[in-house]
Structure formats: structure tokens, C-alpha cells
């Protein structure tokens, strides 16, 4: 091969390499993926999951699209579009109670629609908010720092949803709405409130409750655990359930809890508590309601008494706890503000070591929940 020909080949080879490197160096332009709140597509709530279809056209020139699926995962494509990383939002610190305004809304591990879903909460659920950004609220849920879309919470308690939107139900509950109040909360509130509408007598808004003599478990944790089991038990029987709280870090007074139950459209109100006395030998379950002469809602006495009797019997039948009957009292704010039949359930004595240990077990909590549900069934079976 002569010298001129070899030189020509070298020049052609060099040009090919340069063109190849230039082509390999091309990058896709970043495409910003809108969050759920920014997406222009229709947004729906399906089984508690926010979903939004977001079309992303890649930059490969092949004309194929990718569609983001719920949870932030993109559909399969021949090429993968480069997506910019979402910057963590800045939060303004607050310490306040907010209420869920959506039917079923996700609570997530991190702020963003790609954050893992921890659970869903229903309309009217009270949550402790510690911070907020334009799109997300930082909350405390069951002692965990979590996040919820700010679009679905408000400092004002929402009105109950119209009955026409209620889900179809089957079973013994026949769609009756049961409001459940897991007694107490992580921190008490010693500020005073009237014990009833127009009352001059006042009591502390809410106490943090007692704790187990043997286990040290706080009452507010026990009542929530049993109430959540009761919720599932009742839903399984065809009832609808309205929860006053589903987390410990709230600040809701006893009068406010009753008002929440009133506004929910509940047919009955079940307030779940546990008892305590200095005499540690005392044991058993009891329920409480107003007297027939209660100046605020004495007209509800007959049904409240029937509900209380049925519920305490149900608990004692499933647990073999001693039946201590029904106590009548007109000084309870959480009863006096009610406009619907109500009972306070004192499921057992945390001051009694044996009973305290039993109530700490998942087995007995399930038995107590079943017993309360059995009592509610019996209450309605009697024609109430």
C-alpha cells in the first residue's frame, strides 16, 4: 500500500471516531414530573390511593411515551427518560390539630407521591400537624413522623359526607353508623370547658388517663388499640364506623369529641376507656351513661341505658370479666354534649395486675372488641 493511500485511510478513520464520540455524548434533556397536586390529569381516590396519569414523552425520537403509574413507577418503554430529582420541601413549624377532609387519604413515609404509604385515614380523623409546606403537611401518626397531602386536611372539622356517598354494606349492621372514641390522648389538656351546653360548671377538657399497674401501658394506647380492633369488627358486621381519633398525638376535648360524633351522623356513640382504683383488688368491666333526669340529654337515657347494659354484658361474656353493671352519672362532659345514645365503656381495671396483663395481650383486646360489637348487635336486635 503506498504512502498517500495509507494517509487517506488514517484521516477517514479519525473522522469516523470523532463523529461517533459526538453522537455518544448526547444526553436526554431532563423532564420535570409533576406531583399529584400539580398534575393536570384527573385525580381519583381508589381504595385510599391517590392516582394520577402523567404522560412523559422521552427524548429518544422514537415517539414512544411512558405513563406514570400510582406510586410513582413508570411503565415499560424501550428507553428511559431522565427525570429530575424532586427537592425536599421546606416546612413551616406548627403545633396544631388538623382534620382529614377526604374520604380516604394516604399517610406517607416521606413528602411526595413516591413516598411509601403507611396507612389510609378517613374523613374527620384528627391529626397532630407539626409543619407544612405548599403541598404537604408533616404529622405525627402513632408516634411516627409522617406526611399527608395538605390538600386533604383542614384546621376546621369537615361536615359529614352525604349519606348517598356511603358505601354499600351487608350483615347485621345494616349500615348503622357507630362513632368510636378511643379515650384520652398522649397529653392531657387542663384548660376548662363547660360540662354541658350552657353549664356554669366546668371541668378539665381532657386527661391523659391512667396506666397499667403491672405493664405500665398508658390508657390512651390501650384504648386506641382496642378501638381499632372494634372498628374492624364492626366493619366486618356491616356497620359504618366514624373514628374520633386514630393517633395518640391529638388535642381534642371531651366536649369536642361529642360534637364530632354529633356532626358525623352517628346512630350511637361508644367511648372506650379503662378503669383504675387505689384498691388494686377491684376488677371487672362496667359501662356508664346519663341519668333519666340529666338536664342536657335526659331524653336519651332509655336508649343509652339499654346500649350500656348490652355492651357490658357482651364484654363479660367474651372475656369472663366480672360484670359490674351500669353506672349513671351526669357530670361527664363527653356524655352531656351528646345528641345520640352514648355509653362509656370501662373495659377493665388497669390497677388490677391480673386484668392489666390480660388487657395487654392481643387475644384479650380482640375479645373485648368482639364483646362490644356483640353488645351493639344485641342493642339493635332488641329494636332500639
Which of 139, 93, 100, 87 lies closest to 118 in space, CA to CA? Answer: 139
* pLDDT tens-digit map of 122-139: 788 888 999 999 889 999
Does pLDDT of 212 surpass 70? yes
Domain range for 142: 92-154
Provide the 10 A C-beta neighbour count for residue 22.
9
Q: Which 3-state string (H, E, C) describes 308-370?
A: HHHHHHHHHHHHCCCEEEEEECCCCHHHHCCCCCEEEEEEEECCCHHHHHHHCCHHHHHHHHH
User: Is residue 209 located within the same domain as residue 293?
Assistant: yes
Mean pLDDT of 207-235: 97
User: Is residue 257 located within the same domain as residue 109?
Assistant: no
CATH code, domain carrying 321 = 3.40.630.40
- Considering the domain boundaries, does residue 130 fall inside one? yes
Last residue of a domain, one of 154, 177, 201: 154
- Considering the domain boundaries, does residue 43 fall inside one? no
- The continuous run of DSSP H or E covering 274 comes out as strand 268-275
User: Is residue 132 located within the same domain as residue 178?
Assistant: no
User: Is residue 288 located within the same domain as residue 329?
Assistant: yes
Does pLDDT of 8 surpass 90? no
User: Is residue 212 located within the same domain as residue 323?
Assistant: yes
Does pLDDT of 298 surpass 60? yes
The better pLDDT of the pair 51, 106 is held by: 106
Alpha helices in the chain (DSSP H): 3-24, 219-236, 254-264, 301-319, 333-336, 353-359, 362-381
Residue 144: the pLDDT is 84
- Considering the domain boundaries, does residue 150 fall inside one? yes
Residue 48: the pLDDT is 35
The better pLDDT of the pair 90, 17 is held by: 90
- Considering the domain boundaries, does residue 25 fall inside one? no
CA distance linking residue 185 with residue 181, whole number of Å:
11
For residue 113, what is its C-alpha cell?
407521591
User: Is residue 285 located within the same domain as residue 361?
Assistant: yes
User: Is residue 115 located within the same domain as residue 254?
Assistant: no
Which of 90, 54, 350 lies closest to 226 in space, CA to CA? Answer: 350
Residue with cell 337515657: 301
User: Is residue 282 located within the same domain as residue 259?
Assistant: yes
For residue 99, what is its C-alpha cell?
382534620
Output phi, psi for 12, to 5 deg.
-60, -45
- Considering the domain boundaries, does residue 52 fall inside one? no
- Considering the domain boundaries, does residue 288 fall inside one? yes
> How many structural domains does the chain have?
2
- Considering the domain boundaries, does residue 307 fall inside one? yes
Q: Give the long-range contacts of residues 226-231, CB within 8 A, separation 24 or more.
A: 226/182, 226/272, 226/347, 226/359, 226/365, 226/368, 226/369, 227/180, 227/181, 227/182, 227/272, 228/182, 229/365, 229/366, 229/368, 229/369, 230/180, 230/270, 230/272, 230/369, 230/372, 230/373, 231/180
User: Is residue 107 located within the same domain as residue 236?
Assistant: no
Residue 112: the pLDDT is 87
User: Is residue 175 located within the same domain as residue 139?
Assistant: no
User: Is residue 182 located within the same domain as residue 285?
Assistant: yes
Does pLDDT of 176 surpass 70? yes
Last residue of a domain, one of 154, 176, 206: 154
Residue with cell 364483646: 371
Does pLDDT of 145 surpass 60? yes
* pLDDT tens-digit map of 96-106: 999 888 877 88
CA distance linking residue 292 with residue 301, whole number of Å:
5
CATH code, domain carrying 100 = 2.30.30.40
Residue 201: the pLDDT is 96
Last residue of a domain, one of 121, 154, 187: 154
Which of 293, 358, 353, 289 lies closest to 327 in space, CA to CA? Answer: 289
User: Is residue 312 located within the same domain as residue 365?
Assistant: yes
Q: Count CA within 13 A, CB hemisphere, residue 358.
A: 20
Mean pLDDT of 17-28: 45
CA distance linking residue 56 with residue 32, whole number of Å:
9
Amino acid at each position: 500500500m503506498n504512502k498517500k493511500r495509507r494517509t487517506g485511510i488514517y484521516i477517514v478513520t479519525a473522522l469516523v471516531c470523532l463523529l461517533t464520540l459526538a453522537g455518544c455524548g448526547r444526553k436526554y434533556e431532563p423532564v420535570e414530573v409533576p406531583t399529584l397536586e400539580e398534575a393536570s390529569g384527573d385525580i381519583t381516590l381508589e381504595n385510599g390511593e391517590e392516582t394520577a396519569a402523567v404522560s412523559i414523552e422521552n427524548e429518544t425520537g422514537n415517539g414512544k411515551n411512558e405513563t406514570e403509574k400510582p406510586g410513582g413507577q413508570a411503565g415499560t418503554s424501550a428507553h428511559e427518560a431522565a427525570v429530575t430529582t424532586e427537592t425536599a420541601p421546606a416546612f413551616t413549624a406548627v403545633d396544631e390539630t388538623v382534620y382529614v377532609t377526604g374520604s380516604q387519604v394516604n399517610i406517607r413515609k416521606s413528602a411526595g407521591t413516591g413516598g411509601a404509604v403507611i396507612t389510609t385515614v378517613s374523613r374527620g380523623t384528627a391529626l397532630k400537624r407539626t409543619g407544612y409546606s405548599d403541598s404537604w403537611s408533616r404529622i405525627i401518626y402513632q408516634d411516627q413522623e409522617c406526611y399527608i397531602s395538605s390538600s386533604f386536611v383542614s384546621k376546621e372539622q369537615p361536615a359529614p359526607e352525604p349519606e348517598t356517598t356511603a358505601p354499600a354494606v351487608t350483615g347485621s349492621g345494616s349500615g348503622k353508623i357507630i362513632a368510636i372514641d378511643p379515650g384520652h390522648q398522649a397529653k392531657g389538656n387542663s384548660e376548662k370547658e363547660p360540662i354541658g351546653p350552657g353549664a356554669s360548671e366546668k371541668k378539665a377538657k381532657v386527661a391523659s388517663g391512667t396506666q397499667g399497674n403491672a405493664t405500665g401501658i398508658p390508657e390512651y394506647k390501650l384504648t386506641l388499640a382496642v378501638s381499632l380492633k372494634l372498628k374492624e369488627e364492626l366493619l366486618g358486621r356491616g356497620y359504618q364506623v366514624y373514628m374520633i381519633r386514630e393517633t395518640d398525638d391529638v388535642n381534642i376535648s371531651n366536649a369536642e369529641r361529642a360534637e364530632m360524633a354529633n356532626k358525623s351522623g352517628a346512630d350511637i356513640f361508644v367511648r372506650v376507656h379503662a378503669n383504675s382504683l387505689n384498691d388494686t383488688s377491684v376488677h371487672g368491666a362496667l359501662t356508664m351513661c346519663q341519668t333519666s333526669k340529666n338536664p342536657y340529654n335526659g331524653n336519651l337515657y332509655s336508649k343509652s341505658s339499654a346500649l350500656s347494659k348490652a355492651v357490658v354484658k357482651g364484654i363479660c361474656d367474651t372475656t369472663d370479666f366480672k360484670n359490674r353493671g351500669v353506672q349513671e352519672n351526669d357530670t361527664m362532659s363527653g356524655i352531656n354534649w351528646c345528641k345520640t345514645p352514648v355509653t362509656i365503656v370501662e373495659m377493665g381495671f388497669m390497677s388490677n395486675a391480673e386484668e392489666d396483663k390480660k388487657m395487654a395481650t392481643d387475644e384479650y383486646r380482640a375479645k373485648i372488641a368482639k364483646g362490644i360489637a356483640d353488645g351493639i348487635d344485641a342493642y339493635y336486635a332488641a329494636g332500639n
